[in-house]
Structure 1
Amino acid sequence: MRLRPKADSDEYLDGAWWPRSGDLIAELPDLLAVLAVRLGPVRRVVYDRASWSRTPRQIIIDDRAVPLDAYTFELGNTMYIFGSAGAVIVLRVIPSVADPGMAHSALMAMVTREPATTPSE
């Protein structure tokens, strides 16, 4: 997973995540533990229905039920993670079956800003 710096809040996507499998329940605990540093306890996850195998409506994290809401995103492969204080992180999810080189490039592109260009005189 790669996240943009907090200062890059003008971007729609906050980062990218390349899970090891298509099993959301197996993949979420580690992801949510990392994101809790920015979000506090996670209170809800909204995920792209087409990107994952069948998933229950909630997951138990730290003895708390976290609702999992499937949604059909126009952009696809998108996930919203809502924190308890109202903050949200939006991730581009790279399919687990992606070519490793392509996945690495996609992760790095998500957090690398192109330098500003100046017009030629």
Structure 2
Amino acid sequence: MPTIVIPPSPPSQPRLSLAPARGQAVLDGGWWPRSWDPVAELPGLVLALTERHGRIRHIMLNIHTWDSRIRRLAVGPDVVRIGWFDTLDPALLVATTGRDDQVDLLVVPPDTTPEAAERAMATAADPTNLRHAPDILTARATRQQATTTTDSDPYAVWDNEGGSAASGGFHRGHTESTTRPRTGVPA
């Protein structure tokens, strides 16, 4: 049986925006962790989700995005199983409740500017939102790129189109193809 990790410090208040109700929305909200350390970031999130949805028993994350791979995390009186998946988009966290309900959250990268993070989380928490998590972050990265690009940077568009990691996106040891299809990439 895997070791149960007990966080060394009290959980921080998560930067989280939840939809009032899912309705037809694709996501249940957005979360902006302060780091890629699951032991530091997940306990506060689990407690906040537990208040809204009841006991959280399982969390699924992208294997390439986070700093460590814990399997079980003690949060209050509960132990939450953590699953690591190569195929799960880095922009998505999936939580399963004790009633087997699924909670899908946009994961905003920690280094995102406050304004961009707040916009992305508000979009993810909008009960009428039909955009998927990576599409919300792609739109954010495209807006960021557009505001910082000048005519003297001939590769800026290529970077944003999938030629290499665009600034502001996920680029922690995995390829761009895990967040969106690569089309029109120069050979």
TM-score (norm 1): 0.83
* Deviations 1:20-73 (CA, angstroms, capped at 9, x unpaired): 111011111111111012321111011122221112111011233211001124
Amino acid aligned to 2:37: D
Structure 2: gaps (5+ residues): 1-15, 130-187
* Percent of pairs with identical residues: 26
| 1:16 maps onto 2:16 in alignment | no
Question: Which residue of structure 2 aligns with residue 117 of structure 1?
Answer: none
Offset of 1:90 from its aligned partner?
0.3
Separation in 2, partners of 1:110, 1:67? 24
Counterpart contact for 2:62–2:88, Cα < 8 Å = no
Is 1:34 the equivalent of 2:48? yes
Residue 96 of structure 2 aligns with which residue?
A: 82
Question: Which of 19, 32, 37 matches 1:4?
Answer: 19
Offset of residue 79 of structure 1: 0.5
Question: How far apart, CA to CA, are the structure 1 residues paired with 2:93 and 2:121?
Answer: 15
Conservation of the 8 A alpha-carbon contact between 1:39 and 1:82: no
CA RMSD of aligned residues (A): 1.7
Secondary structure of the equivalent of 1:51?
coil
Contact conserved, 2:17 with 2:29, CA < 8 A, in 1? yes
Choose 1 or 2 for highest CA Rg: 2
In 1, Cα distance between the equivalents of 2:18 and 2:87? 20
Would you say 1:99 and 2:113 are equivalent positions? Answer: yes
Task: Describe how 1:45-64 pairs up with structure 2 within 5 A.
Answer: 45-64=59-78
Aligned length: 113
- Give 1:119's aligned residue: none
Larger deviation: 63-72 or 77-86?
63-72
Distance in 1 between residues matched to 2:77 and 2:106, nearest whole Å: 27
Distance 2:96 2:81 in 1: 10
Higher relative contact order, chain-length normalized (CA < 8 Å, sep 6+): 1
* Structure 1 or 2: more strand by fraction: 1
* Cα displacement (A) at 1:74: 5.3
